[in-house]
Structures are given as structure tokens and as C-alpha cells.
Structure 1
Amino acid sequence: MSQAQQRAEAAEARRRKVRKGTHSCWECRRRKIRCQFGPGDDSVCLPCQTRGSPCRSQEYVDESRPQQQPDRRMAQRLGRLEELMSRLVDRILPDSLNSSTQSPSSALPARPRASSPTPSHDTVTDDDGGAAYRQTLDVLEASVGDETPVGLLLSLRNRGGGQCPNTTGTQQPAAMLTPESDCTTEAAPCKRTPPPTSRHDKACQALYAMFPSQRDVTSLATCSGAPYFVVSLFTSFRSIIQGNMERVDDICVIPPKTSHPTVLAKRLLQCAIFMQQAPPHFDVQQLDMIKSLSQHMMDIVAVVSQHATCNDEVVGTAEGLECLILLGLWHAGAGNLRKAWLSYRRAMSLGQLMGIDRGSSRALQFVDTARPVNKRPTPEALWYRIINLDRAVSLLLGLPVGTSDNSFATEEAMRGDTQMERLEKLQTVIGARIIERNADKTSQAYSMTQSIDYDLDKAAKTMDDDWWNEPQLDPAYGPQINLGQMMHMMLQVHHFDLQILLHLPYMLRNPSENRYDYSKATCARASREVLKRYVSFRTLYSSAWACRHVDYSALVAAMTLLLSYLRQHQDPSQPTPSCGQRADDRKLIEVVCERMQHVSLVSHDKLSQESAEILMRMMPILDSIDQSMMGFTTELTANAVKCLHLNVPFLGTVNIQPTGVIPLCDGTTQPAAAAAGVAGHHQQQQQQQQRSPMAAAAGEMSQSNNIPGTTGLSSTGDMSLDLSSLDPTLMQSSDAAIHGMFMEFDTQPQDGMLEFPLTAEADDWILQGVDTTYWSLLNSM
């Protein structure tokens, strides 16, 4: 074979497979010009002929391309990187592995310890070597992800050690990489928790310093059912059955100081809820804490608010979202409804920024890598819990809902839910509709009320009749069993709350209008059911901060039951109220007041104390009914039935007083309307009392002879409700007699009536505006 044939075969062997339509030669391709051939069978293109350069098709290897010379600077950088990686491996691998298996890199000189910065006094370590190692890795891990090559190299210690716990009994310097070296769950492998960046060190130090001892945390977690409530807050019943929820033992472990600030803050808030729901008989002497439980948890909330929930740089994580919800729950339990509402709204806004309202989880970043993936809350669970809590507080405060999203209550979304979970979601939807109805100023409000009542009754019928029996709480049961019964009872209470708030605007309408009889009967019946469950619950649980919502429900229900007796026998066509039912209601309210006083005494609770005072001073409403039914009024009973004045913040004064013709001091008479105006003027002079806004005015029901022109009682002894000194911006009409109740609106400014801000806590503003919402709703339709 000739040399020409050999070269042709070699060239054919080096032939490349090119893309269809490729016709340019290598030289034209490099110059980015069009490769054109002349007429005929020329093998050299015209540009190459002009330049005199070789014309080689791209089907063959370009042998004319000069080989690139190695970059000397790149080689030096790679060499330095290899040396750095070798030193890093020496520091990461445990000493036991280094002694048994000598690597070539062990011969390299180690970085002198003096080159590391001096560890600070707040560095968490067991020896000086660990401190220097920790500070070296802080710089690396601040900009290294878990899945990058260097990040994978940083996890060599876990793979090389073979197991998570340190079996040697002494902590190796490399253990500082994995703060939670002990496996908390069998199913989840040990994962390295990335330490916070240097700008978060101060926040981590402040948060970590607030933790009680590990023994105290365990003691607090076992004294009540709060841990079971916390772990089930973002978990469905189906997930609980499948075991996809955190264990109580897991949330009792104090995270390491190197955790993300939101991880530390979340565990602190869980501890604060443990303290909040501790029973009054809990022995605090067994704890190592110097401060009281109340002071310690308030300090925790203050530090968490400063360094986590109000810190925009750290709160934008899934754990930060949980922190905002837990903070709102703590404030709600403490009676700070307005701060709870603000916390829920902040959580809602953050969730919308993350996109969880649209079903997206891309921005929902979990920074607690020690938490197994299957035990993390889903975006749907977080979003629903935010909506549920926001609407519950908004309904009490008379505020609009944060979002109208009801996607959680569709059949598809509730496909795997239990009956109780479905009922809770339906109640959440109905609560938003009641808020919408309350804001409606048109004549369609009553039609909306009827529609909502139908849906509420339909939701109630999804449960069996036996389910609506009052749950039995037994102290002999464990916290898990009682927690289920408590959730059962709270769902029932919330259902009756919705009934009361739905029909409250129509309860005191003119008795001659029969279409409102259903609303009156519903309010009275639902109020009795709430009060019965309140007595059962507070008999077993006297901790004021446990299920605080039931205290507001009891106050609203008791006031509604008492007011339901106003003017109900004014119309002769109406049936006479049953003496037996009235006696039972009186006894029930007296038992409720006794429970409130007991809770106030053992828990030092101002809300229970004020609620009991208000109810005791509203009891003369029943006295007036008794006297009217007996048909006579003596001087003794006349002095017993006094005028009741309730000073409502941001609203005005509510006067409950005898109706009809009221005798004057000189023996003449004047209508009750004039007396109401005098009573309102007298109440304005009493605005500067130092007691709480509502109980102070209700504390002393003025004697008739103390109010000019209001001596004595009418022959009927009937009681009416008069709203005088009302803020006109909150009411719907001017001076008028509406629904048989005289209402006089005082247009004078009420500056200086309040001595607390809008976001005041329960110590300064006990009822937080629940009373304002109640009286506004009672007379708004």
C-alpha cells in the first residue's frame, strides 16, 4: 500500500460527524465568513484561495489549530487549592481515623494555632482547639452551601465517623460542625445544621441565653398538655396517625447555640407556651429559674420579638412563619388580643410573600435541617392555621379579615380530613361571612343572616347528634386524651359563639315583630350551652391562660343571656317567661361568676375578675323581671333595682335603666328619654375614674336619688337598654327611638377618655375592645 493511500485511510478514520447543513471549512468558521466555492469541482473555497491558507472541511480534525499553552497562574491557584483542601481534610477527619489510617495529606504542615483568632468568651466549645476550629469554619460555611463540593467535604466527619454519637466519650473538635450530634429520631439520618452567619451571632447569643435549663424545660413540658397542642398545631389528624409529626421529646430538646435565630426563637416560644399553660398548683420550687414563670416568659417574648419576629433579615423562613403564629398564640393566651392580631397579620403578609397562599413552596425555606422532611408542616397547613387564627381574633375585635381565601374548605382540600377538621374549616368560612355581614350597611343584612344561619346549621348536621353532647373532662385521663376532649369542647363552644354573634343584632328588636323571635331564642339557647361548657372546663382547668378564648365566650354568652330578658314581656301577645327557666338561668350565671372569681384568685387574672364584676352588676335585670311579674314594687326592691352604666372604650356609655315614666324629685314626671340624657351627662362626669373602663362604670350603679330627676321606679319595673354618649362614627343613625330602646348619641368629642394606646396589653386594657364590638354589634343593624 502506498503512502498516499495510508494517508487517505488515516484521514478517513479521523473524519468527524458534522451537523447536517454544515459546509464551511475550519478557516472560514474561525473568521466567521461565508465559505463559497467557485464553479466546477474546486476543493478549495474562494476565501482560502485568496488568502492562500489550507482549506480543510469540518468533517476532519483541525490539525492546524495550535495547542493552548497551560496557564501558569491557574496552575498556581489549583496548587494552593489542593493544599488548602488537604489541610481542611486533616481538621475534619476524627483523630481516631487519622491515627489508624494515615493519608498522604497528613505529611503536610498544619496551620499554626496562633494564626487562628482568639476565641471569645461566648464561644460554645469544650476546649481551645474546638473554639479555634469553630471560628475557622464560620468563615467557610458562611458562603458554602450543603450541596457544593466544599459543603460535601464539610460533611466528611459524619461519613467518616460511621455514626452520629461520639463513642469516645470526649467531644472532638470536628463535632462542632454538627451541633446536634445525637440522633433524635431513628428514621431520620443525622444532618448538619448550618451555623448562622456572623451578622446573626448577636441574635443567637441573646436568644440562647433565654433558655431555662434542660431539666426545667422537661419539667414544664410534662406538667400540662401544652406540648401535644404545640406539635399538633400544624399537623392534620391523618399525619398524626401516620407518625408525620414531631414527638414531644423532640421539642423538649434545647437547640445548639449555632442554630438559626428562628430555630432558637421557635423553641423559646414553645417553652413560653409551656410556662403559660402550667397549672396553678405546679411546684415552681423544683425549677432552677430565679425569676417567676410569668416574668421569665415575658422576657422570652421580648427577646424573641426583638431578635427574630421583628427582624426582617431572619424572619423570612418557614420557622420564622411558625414563630409569628406561636407568638400570636402566646399573646392571645395572655389576653393581648390586639398584639395577637398584629402577629397573625404579619404572618399572613409573610406567607403571601412566600407564595404559600398560591400553593407554592419554593420560597418556603426550612433552616432546621435536623428536622426530618416528613415532619415539616406543609404550606397548606401553615396557610390555613394563619387564616383560622386571624379570623377568630378579627371576629372578637370587630376587624375585617386579612384574606377572603377559602380554598382550604373545598371538597378536594378536605378530602382526607376528619369530620372535626371539616367542621373547623367550615366554621372558619362562616366566621368570615359574619364579619362581612357586620360590615354590610344595606338592607340585605338580614337576608345574609338567614343564609349564614342555614350554612351554620348545615355544618352542624355533619356531626352526629351524640357528638353535640357535652364532653366529659376527667383529671384522671392523660393529657393526650383530655386534649382531644378539649378540642371537641372548643369546637362546640365556637359553634355556639358563631350563633350568638350571628343573631345578636336582632335579639332586642321590637317584640311585636315575630320574625325576630328565632334570633332571640337562638341567642338564649346558645348562651346557655356556652356557659355550661365554661363551668365544666374551668372546674378542671383553672389556669387562666389555658384556652383563653373560652373566657371571652363566657362573658359574651352571660351578657347575652341577661340582656335577652329585657322587654321580653312588654308585648301582651308574647308568652310569659318561665319562672323555672329564669331561676335556672340565674343559678347558671351565679355559678359562672363563682368560677370566674376562682380563676381570678388562683391565677391573678384581671379578665376573669372584671368579667365577674360586670355580670354581678347586670343581675338586677333579672330582679326587674321578677318584680314586674309579681306586679308590685316596694321601696326595698326599688332601691335594689338601680341604673347600670357601662363605659365602653371608643363607643360611649351604655345605660340600662327602668323604662316608662320616671318620677322627678318634686313629684312631677318626665319621660325616660330625658332621664337618659341626664344619666348620660352624669356618666361623663365620672370618666376620669382610675378603674378599668367598663368595670369602673359598672362598679357603682348609682342610686336613683343620686341622679337628678331619676328618683324611684316605674310601676312596671321593666328594664331597657339605652345607649347614650355614643360615638356617632360607630353608629348608623341619629337620635331616635329604635326597636323599643331609646338611643341618644352624644356628638361631643371624647378626647382624654382613654389612657392607653390601641395596642395596649391586657394589664392596661383588660377587655381589649371585645366589649366595644359586642355593644356595637348589638345595636348596629
Structure 2
Amino acid sequence: MLTIAIALQNPSGEKTDGLSEPPGVLMSRFVAAARTWVTTNDEMHGTVDCLVCIILEGVYEMNSGNLRRAWAVFRRAMSVAQLMGLHRSPMPPLKRIDADLDADPEFLWFRIVYLDRHLSLLLGLPQGTSEKSMAAAAAMRNEPALGRFERHLTVVASRILERNESPFPASQAPATQAIDAELLQVAGSMPASFWRAPDFHRLTPGSPETLLETQRLAAHVYYHGLLIQLHLPFMLRVGDNAVDEYSKITCVNSSREIMSRFIAHRTFNPSSSCSRPVDFFALLAAMTLLLAHLDAHHHRGPTSILAHQRLTDRAMLDQALERMDAIKTRNRDVTTAKSAELIRRLLDIEADAAAGGGSCSAARSAGGSGGDKGPKHGEELRLTIPYLGVIRIGRQGAISRELPADVSAQDRPRTSSQLGTAATEAQALGLASATQSAAPWSGSEMQCPSSTWDNPTLPSMADGVDGVDDWVFQGVDTAFFDGLLRGTAALDAAVGFDASGT
């Protein structure tokens, strides 16, 4: 039933015409039945068959854009697998209901860990296990090149998550450089042909050749997504530090690589729901790229390493927006619709900054989703970021952090950074926005299209959050800002800046 539900997530015209009910109704019914009788049934746990079904449920939720729910499902799969002993070497004897089930327990364990770390990075959540044995020589012996690549990336993802889960002092740069060197070594282990740009010319959706090309594209995106996650905390730090400049260039180049692959894939197949992580990484790449350009406008100098690429980057983002619009129209996809709207707002801000309209500023203040949405002095945009507070974006000034009033003075980190670009990133969220006067990027609070509620494959309000703006991006936005602002806070604390700016 779960396999059929996943297949129905990618409808193909006349192939669904003979169904007795709409695909969405059938999907919901199949998944509900499997969840009730198998994947959440404790009596079924302990069998390889049940574990396979839990993994399929996670894939279904991920394809639906329910990243938080998918993360929870894969965490359940990890718990069940550990109770079965799949994390041990050698593995104990395993129970199977269907003796003919073709499922390799070691590979199942690897895929669970792979997807857990993939989603944990996107959502800013902790990994379920720090095990790194999946890249051992014995595990790699029978793997094809792509399989070895994915196993290496899984180990690197664990190191990035470990870094992110620890306190982030300014001295984290050496650890970041070591992980960067490891990623470079992993990339060099692949044949040159692996790094060719994806080519879907003469391929047809659903063919084995298309599947292989899509897997290669997804591996490229994950690799560059790891680079962005690794270097994001250092991208907007001010100064002439060569390491920080390297981080900025790496983030920009990886963002371009992700966007080009998103465009190629979504031009070929705009209706596929099997590339949700690619879609979310494309959103992060677009925000990262525009933030880098805004940072360059904020710190204007006689030369800019991004000046000659600016128009090309904007054209590429415009092309990505065309693809997002096609997905939105075709699939009634609210996540893609909101992503496109956020990127358009960011593009407007970047164009205004390039024309000399003034730098952007942001301030993070207490408040969560209930923060003040009203306009303040000057032209300002206020955005509520779940768990982080309110980010204010204005046309002039610096980025600073305003902590909650109930935080004691001795616990108050001393931060104040001149990072106008970071504010623009907040604009990319488009959450709970309100503006004053006739700024070219002004807009009203974004609302979810009513058609969303009729599509069961789209994110549900049942993910434990309160409002539309909180659940659409599933926490991907929060994780992005947390990573972006973390490095600047560490630098400011190291040099002794005061939160009040004095």
C-alpha cells in the first residue's frame, strides 16, 4: 500500500484516469491503513518487513513536503532498527514475515542514518546517532561509486551536525577547515564523469536512465548543500580574514551549482514529488546567493568579487522562479509558491540595494510567532522567525541582537555586527511581514492558498505548530538563520562587542 501511495504521488495523466477515487484520497487511505496496522503497531516491530514499511512511510512524508513528520518517522525507524540490533556488528538473527523479501539489513540501516542526517541538517535538529562505520572499508567493498560517495557524505554530515550541536566559539574555523578538506577529498575520489552537469536530454520520466541521472543530481545537490551548511556561519563575518572570504566564495559557488541542477531537473519533470530535499536546498541556495550579493552592496569597495556575476545570478534565479511557478500551477504546491514569493521579495531588495537604495539592517528581538508586526520608524520590515524571535529589516543601519527582557545581564551575550546582508535573508522567510511607506519591496502578510487544504500530499497543520507561516517551511528557515547568525555572534563575543552597540 505504501509503495502504491508513493507511486500515486507522481501522477502521469491518463495513467490515473481509471482510478475509482482521486489519487489524493487513495493515498491518504493507503497510508492511514499502513500506519495503523503496521508501522505504529508494536506487535509488528522487530521484523525486517515492518522496518521496510516504516522507511517507506518516511519517504512518503518527505515527498509530501512534511519534513518534520518525515524526520520523526525515520527516527522511529532508527529506534526500531536499534532494538533489532541493526547497528551492531555482527548483526543478530533477524525476523522476517516474508521469507522472500529482498532487503539487506545493513543497507537499510545505512539509508535510515543517511536520511536522518539529511533531514536533521535541513531542520536544524540533532542527529539520532553519531555512528560512522558506514564508510568503513568493509561496508564500501561492494558499493558502486555513487553508493561510496553517499556513505562518505553521511559521515561528513555527522561531523557538521556535531559541530553545530556544540558551542560555537570563534575558534571553530579549524574544525570547519578540516571538514572542508574531507569534503574535497571525497569529491576527488569520484571519476571526472560523475561531475558532469546533469543531462536529461532524450530521457523519459520513469526510465532507469532517468532514475540514475536523478540520483546523481541529488548527490551533487547534497554535496553542495553540505558545503553551504558548513560555511554558512562564516559567510557574513566582516573583515579581511582569508578564511571567511573562502567561506563566502564557497557558499556562493555551491549555491549556483544547486540552482543550476534544480532548474535542470524541474525543467525536465516539474510534477515529480520525489525531489523535495532538492527543492528545499534550492530555496536555501537562493537565499544564500542573494544574501552574499546584499552583503557585497552593504560593504561597497573599489572592487567586488561578485560584481560581474550579479546579473547572471539574477537571471538564473528568475529562471528558477519560472520553474517554481510551473510546479505551483501544476501541483497546487503551497511550499513552492511560498518559496517563489520569498525569492521575489529578496530579488527586489537586492535590486534596490544595488541601485544605491541603502543597506538593509536587521535586529533579532524576543517574541517568537507573537512578535510585533507593525511598522517602525523609517522603512522597515518585521519578520517573525519561529524560535529565534523577530527580525527587523530596514533600509539603513547595522544588524544587532536584542535579547528578551527576562534574560539576565550575566547571561546576555554581547553581540553587535555590521551585517546588512543578513537582514535580507530574513526577508526571504516572508513570515509575518509588514512594511511602512512605499518601499519597492513592501508587501502584506503572506497567506496560504485555500486550495492547499484540498491536497493531502501537501504539508499538514498537524505538525505541532500554530500558524501557516510556521509550518510551511517545516523549520528549514529557522535552521538557516540559526546557522547564519551563529558565526557572527561567536565573532562578536570574541572581540567584546556590546549588545547595545556601545
TM range, smaller chain: 0.7 to 0.9
Q: Please show how residues 738-777 of structure 1 align to structure 2 within 5 Å.
A: 738=417, 740=419, 758-759=463-464, 765-777=471-483
Match of residue 576, structure 1, among 304, 308, 313: 304
Cross-structure match for 2:437: none
The structure-2 alpha-carbon separation of the partners of 1:398 and 1:579, relative to structure 1 and needing over 3 Å to count, comes to: closer
For 1:257-282, what per-residue CA distance to the aligned partner results, in whole angstroms no more than 9, with x for missing partners?
xxxxxxxxxxx111111111224x35
TM-score (norm. length: structure 2): 0.79
Matched, 1:271 2:4: yes
Residue 316 of structure 1: CA displacement?
2.4
Amino acid at match of 1:349: S
Cross-structure match for 2:246: 518
| Distance in 2 separating the partners of 1:578 and 1:742 | 14
Cross-structure match for 1:70: none
Give the CA RMSD over aligned residues: 3.7
Residue 614 of structure 1: CA displacement?
0.4
Match of residue 448, structure 1, among 175, 184, 188: 175
Residue 575 of structure 1: CA displacement?
2.2
Match of residue 277, structure 2, among 549, 563, 582: 549
Out of 719-728 and 597-606, give the one that drifted further.
Answer: 719-728
Residue 593 of structure 1: CA displacement?
1.2
Match of residue 412, structure 1, among 131, 135, 138: 138
Q: Contact 1:650–1:727 (CA<8 Å) still a contact in 2?
A: no
| Distance in 2 separating the partners of 1:354 and 1:761 | 36
Q: Contact 2:461–2:471 (CA<8 Å) still a contact in 1?
A: yes
Residue 361 of structure 1: CA displacement?
4.5
Matched, 1:299 2:29: yes
The structure-2 alpha-carbon separation of the partners of 1:742 and 1:339, relative to structure 1 and needing over 3 Å to count, comes to: closer
Amino acid at match of 2:98: D
Match of residue 17, structure 2, among 281, 285, 304: 285
Residue 775 of structure 1: CA displacement?
0.5
Matched, 1:607 2:340: no
Residue 295 of structure 1: CA displacement?
1.9
The structure-2 alpha-carbon separation of the partners of 1:646 and 1:596, relative to structure 1 and needing over 3 Å to count, comes to: farther
The structure-2 alpha-carbon separation of the partners of 1:297 and 1:724, relative to structure 1 and needing over 3 Å to count, comes to: farther
TM-score (norm. length: structure 1): 0.52
The structure-2 alpha-carbon separation of the partners of 1:414 and 1:649, relative to structure 1 and needing over 3 Å to count, comes to: farther
| Distance in 1 separating the partners of 2:61 and 2:479 | 19
The structure-2 alpha-carbon separation of the partners of 1:733 and 1:545, relative to structure 1 and needing over 3 Å to count, comes to: farther
Cross-structure match for 2:436: none
Q: Contact 1:654–1:722 (CA<8 Å) still a contact in 2?
A: no
Q: Contact 1:391–1:432 (CA<8 Å) still a contact in 2?
A: yes
| Distance in 2 separating the partners of 1:649 and 1:300 | 40
Q: Please show how residues 498-647 of structure 1 align to structure 2 within 5 Å.
A: 498-571=226-299, 575-628=303-356
| Structure with bigger RCO (C-alpha 8 Å, 6+ apart) | 2
How many percent identity over aligned positions? 32
What is the aligned residue count? Answer: 443
Cross-structure match for 2:88: 358
The structure-2 alpha-carbon separation of the partners of 1:654 and 1:770, relative to structure 1 and needing over 3 Å to count, comes to: farther
The structure-2 alpha-carbon separation of the partners of 1:361 and 1:647, relative to structure 1 and needing over 3 Å to count, comes to: same
The structure-2 alpha-carbon separation of the partners of 1:508 and 1:644, relative to structure 1 and needing over 3 Å to count, comes to: closer
| Distance in 2 separating the partners of 1:358 and 1:408 | 12
Cross-structure match for 1:182: none
Residue 647 of structure 1: CA displacement?
11
For 1:208-235, what per-residue CA distance to the aligned partner results, in whole angstroms no more than 9, with x for missing partners?
xxxxxxxxxxxxxxxxxxxxxxxxxxxx
- Say which SS state the counterpart of residue 471 (structure 2) adopts: coil
Q: Contact 1:600–1:606 (CA<8 Å) still a contact in 2?
A: yes
Q: Contact 1:508–1:566 (CA<8 Å) still a contact in 2?
A: no
The structure-2 alpha-carbon separation of the partners of 1:643 and 1:614, relative to structure 1 and needing over 3 Å to count, comes to: farther
Q: Contact 2:295–2:421 (CA<8 Å) still a contact in 1?
A: no
Cross-structure match for 1:16: none
For 1:409-438, what per-residue CA distance to the aligned partner results, in whole angstroms no more than 9, with x for missing partners?
111221222221111000001111111111
Q: Please show how residues 49-68 of structure 1 align to structure 2 within 5 Å.
A: none
The structure-2 alpha-carbon separation of the partners of 1:621 and 1:301, relative to structure 1 and needing over 3 Å to count, comes to: same
The structure-2 alpha-carbon separation of the partners of 1:301 and 1:419, relative to structure 1 and needing over 3 Å to count, comes to: same
Out of 641-650 and 454-463, give the one that drifted further.
Answer: 641-650
Amino acid at match of 2:343: L
Out of 644-653 and 328-337, give the one that drifted further.
Answer: 644-653
| Distance in 1 separating the partners of 2:325 and 2:403 | 31
Matched, 1:736 2:442: no
Residue 513 of structure 1: CA displacement?
3.1
Residue 586 of structure 1: CA displacement?
0.7
| Structure 2 unaligned spans of 5+ | 424-431, 433-459, 488-502
Out of 304-313 and 501-510, give the one that drifted further.
Answer: 304-313
| Distance in 2 separating the partners of 1:727 and 1:416 | 58
Q: Please show how residues 164-203 of structure 1 align to structure 2 within 5 Å.
A: none
Residue 743 of structure 1: CA displacement?
9.8
Cross-structure match for 2:494: none
The structure-2 alpha-carbon separation of the partners of 1:468 and 1:721, relative to structure 1 and needing over 3 Å to count, comes to: farther
Residue 724 of structure 1: CA displacement?
5.8
The structure-2 alpha-carbon separation of the partners of 1:727 and 1:472, relative to structure 1 and needing over 3 Å to count, comes to: farther
| Distance in 2 separating the partners of 1:548 and 1:337 | 9
For 1:342-384, what per-residue CA distance to the aligned partner results, in whole angstroms no more than 9, with x for missing partners?
1111111111111111135444211113x2xxx6222211111
Residue 679 of structure 1: CA displacement?
5.1
Q: Please show how residues 398-409 of structure 1 align to structure 2 within 5 Å.
A: 398-409=124-135
Residue 514 of structure 1: CA displacement?
3.4
Match of residue 462, structure 1, among 189, 195, 198: 189
| Distance in 1 separating the partners of 2:364 and 2:322 | 21
Amino acid at match of 1:278: P
Q: Please show how residues 109-188 of structure 1 align to structure 2 within 5 Å.
A: none
Residue 545 of structure 1: CA displacement?
1.6
| Distance in 2 separating the partners of 1:531 and 1:727 | 41
- Say which SS state the counterpart of residue 780 (structure 1) adopts: helix
For 1:452-502, what per-residue CA distance to the aligned partner results, in whole angstroms no more than 9, with x for missing partners?
000001000011333212110135446101101111111111101001111
Residue 321 of structure 1: CA displacement?
0.5
| Distance in 1 separating the partners of 2:370 and 2:288 | 19
Residue 650 of structure 1: CA displacement?
5.0
Q: Contact 1:654–1:724 (CA<8 Å) still a contact in 2?
A: no
For 1:646-692, what per-residue CA distance to the aligned partner results, in whole angstroms no more than 9, with x for missing partners?
9999588799x9xxxxxxxxxxxxxxxx959x958xx48xx7xxxx9
Q: Contact 1:317–1:365 (CA<8 Å) still a contact in 2?
A: yes
- Say which SS state the counterpart of residue 356 (structure 1) adopts: coil
Match of residue 484, structure 1, among 193, 212, 216: 212
The structure-2 alpha-carbon separation of the partners of 1:452 and 1:299, relative to structure 1 and needing over 3 Å to count, comes to: same
| Distance in 2 separating the partners of 1:550 and 1:322 | 23
- Say which SS state the counterpart of residue 286 (structure 1) adopts: coil
| Structure 1 unaligned spans of 5+ | 1-267, 658-673, 703-709, 745-749
| Distance in 2 separating the partners of 1:526 and 1:422 | 21
- Say which SS state the counterpart of residue 416 (structure 2) adopts: strand
Match of residue 390, structure 1, among 116, 121, 128: 116
Residue 626 of structure 1: CA displacement?
2.4
| Distance in 2 separating the partners of 1:728 and 1:494 | 40
The structure-2 alpha-carbon separation of the partners of 1:283 and 1:572, relative to structure 1 and needing over 3 Å to count, comes to: closer
Out of 351-360 and 448-457, give the one that drifted further.
Answer: 351-360
Q: Contact 1:645–1:654 (CA<8 Å) still a contact in 2?
A: no
Cross-structure match for 1:330: 60
The structure-2 alpha-carbon separation of the partners of 1:361 and 1:513, relative to structure 1 and needing over 3 Å to count, comes to: closer
The structure-2 alpha-carbon separation of the partners of 1:572 and 1:582, relative to structure 1 and needing over 3 Å to count, comes to: closer
For 1:46-98, what per-residue CA distance to the aligned partner results, in whole angstroms no more than 9, with x for missing partners?
xxxxxxxxxxxxxxxxxxxxxxxxxxxxxxxxxxxxxxxxxxxxxxxxxxxxx
For 1:315-361, what per-residue CA distance to the aligned partner results, in whole angstroms no more than 9, with x for missing partners?
32110000111101100111111111111111111111111111354
| Distance in 2 separating the partners of 1:647 and 1:601 | 37
The structure-2 alpha-carbon separation of the partners of 1:476 and 1:572, relative to structure 1 and needing over 3 Å to count, comes to: closer
| Distance in 2 separating the partners of 1:605 and 1:762 | 18
